[in-house]
Amino acid sequence: MAMIVSGEQTPIARKISTHAVIRTVMANGPISRADIAKRTGLSKQTISEVVRDLEQDGWLKPTGRTDGRPGRTAITYELDAAAGLAVSIDLGGTKIAAAICDLLGNIVAELKVPTDRRGGIHLVEQFCRTISDLNALAGTSSDSLRLIVLGTPGVLDPATGHIHAAPNIPGVEAINLRQLLSETLDIPVIIENDVNLAAEGERWRGHGIDVDNFAFVALGTGTGMGIIANGALLRGARGAAGEISYLPIGGDPFDPGGFNLGTFETAVGSMAMTRRYVGFGGRQGATVADLFNAFECGELSAVAAIEETARLTALAIAAIGATLDPELVIMGGSIGARPELVEAIRRYLPRCTPDPPRIEISHFGNRAALIGGMGIAVDHMHDDLFGVDLGEP
């Protein structure tokens, strides 16, 4: 909504004006001051003062001059994306992916390293080393970093940031990971469930960009689901919404042995797939990669293993559809994003549900959580740097 402001501004009015200018430049830059005034309804004097202050503080930079118009040309401005940097980290059971991004979500540096299998406090040390390596790659320093977004397996308590039910990351449940990392680097830290971040990544720049109701289902070493319901992330009462590992599918849900990994994960995770492959006559000691290679060669034991995994996953998606009614289910993870598996899931779905949702493979593959972390970081940086707090009404 356009807003007319003239004369001397109060501090809150100046904040609102600054917010309007920044949002306009972000959406339309490079842009001249005259065009900013037209789009915001702010006075030319106010625009000149706000742009001058933002340029002096390093948030805006001149990029050229207008052309193709009658009369004098004018300086155009755009956001200096390098004025704010953040780190996104995706903690996996075997690998850590990390990236530095700028205010516009551009990747400045990115790397991947094996996860320290000792877990616990050793992860904090590894994160610090990884961020140092990223800074070296980018030619930046930790002083320029404004935020760290960390994606982790497990159930996250949204109030405390404490992580529960993360059996693939030893020792992480025994420490306050957010507090330790924030205090060590003196940078604010946001921790989020990795599959929730993957869903946020798809909503930010992937298949979910125009979809208000969808689920991101990750299959790999473990299983999980991120839920976007009515345009917002659904967490549940204890932050455990989407923990499909515990769906009573693929085994006996009353067997307490399934309480650790979950009945469904025990039936479709990577260990289950290789165990199923060997049970159908496949090679002893085979990996998931071996299984898919054998599938490509038409080996019947591999075909049977993937078909059974797809059948069980279709049952899970049917249950998801009955409870959440998503327009779209996005498949991700090292196993869930495999086209061979997704094709089989699509075949099984109409056999177990009358109205199957659309199924897509993640736009970002195994980088979805990393991208989601960057999206969260960009939103928070914009809010912190340019947001307006009007206080209580």
275-313 pLDDT tens trace: 999 999 999 999 999 999 999 999 999 999 999 999 999
Q: Are 51 and 59 in contact (CB under 8 A)?
A: no
Beta carbons of 266 and 246 less than 8 angstroms apart: no
Q: Which two tokens stand for residue 285?
A: 């000691």
Region 86-93: mean pLDDT is 93
Q: Between 260 and 325, whose confidence is greater?
A: 325
Q: What are the start-end ranges of the H helices in 259-332? A: 263-268, 270-279, 288-296, 300-324
pLDDT at 393 over 90: no
Q: What does the alpha-carbon distance between residue 179 and residue 160 come to, in Å, rounded to a whole number?
A: 10
Q: How far apart are CA 37 and CA 6, in angstroms?
A: 12
Quick: pLDDT tens for 159-172: 666 777 676 787 78
Topology agreement, domain 11-79 and domain 207-362: no
Tokens, residue 355: 């109205």
* Residue 1: band (very low, low, confident or very high) from pLDDT cuts 50, 70, 90: very low
Residue 5 pLDDT class (50, 70, 90 cuts): very low
Mean pLDDT score, 7-20: 77
Question: Cα–Cα distance between 215 and 228 in angstroms, integer?
Answer: 6
Size (the chain), residues? 393
The per-residue b/e assignment along 42-78, b for 16 or more CB within 10 angstroms, e otherwise, is bbeebbebbbeebeeeebbbeeeebeeeeeeebebbb
- Model confidence at 3: pLDDT above 50: no
226: nearest Cα among 307, 179, 172, 156: 156
Greater model confidence, 57 or 340 = 340
Residues 357-368 as b/e (b if ≥16 CB within 10 A, e otherwise) read: bebbbbbbebbb
pLDDT at 68: 57
Instruction: Answer whether residue 391 shows pLDDT above 60.
Output: no
Backbone angles phi, psi at 8, to 5 degrees: -70, 135
Mean pLDDT of the chain: 89
Residues 195-205: pLDDT tens digits? 999 999 999 99
Where is pLDDT greater, at 263 or 17?
A: 263
Choice among 192-196, 220-224, 244-248 with the minimum mean pLDDT: 220-224
Residue carrying structure tokens 């001149």: 62
What is the domain partition of the chain in residue ranges?
11-79, 83-197+370-385, 207-362
List the end-to-end C-alpha distance of the chain, in Å, as a whole number.
Answer: 19
Q: Is the pLDDT of residue 216 over 90?
A: yes
Distance of CA 187 to the CA centre of its chain: 19
pLDDT digits (tens, 9 = 90+) for 105-123: 999 999 999 999 898 899 9
Q: Which fold has domain 11-79?
A: Arc Repressor Mutant, subunit A (1.10.10)
CA dihedral 335, 336, 341, 342 (to 10 degrees): -160
pLDDT of residue 245: 93
Q: List pLDDT tens digits, range 309-357.
A: 999 999 999 999 999 999 999 999 999 999 999 999 999 999 999 999 9
Q: Do residues 30 and 80 touch, judged by C-beta distance below 8 A?
A: no
CATH architecture, range 207-362:
2-Layer Sandwich (3.30)
Q: What class, spelled out in words, does domain 83-197+370-385 have in CATH?
A: alpha beta
Both tokens of 238, joined, read: 């204890």
pLDDT of 182 over the 70 cut = yes
- The residue-averaged pLDDT of 64-81 equals 78
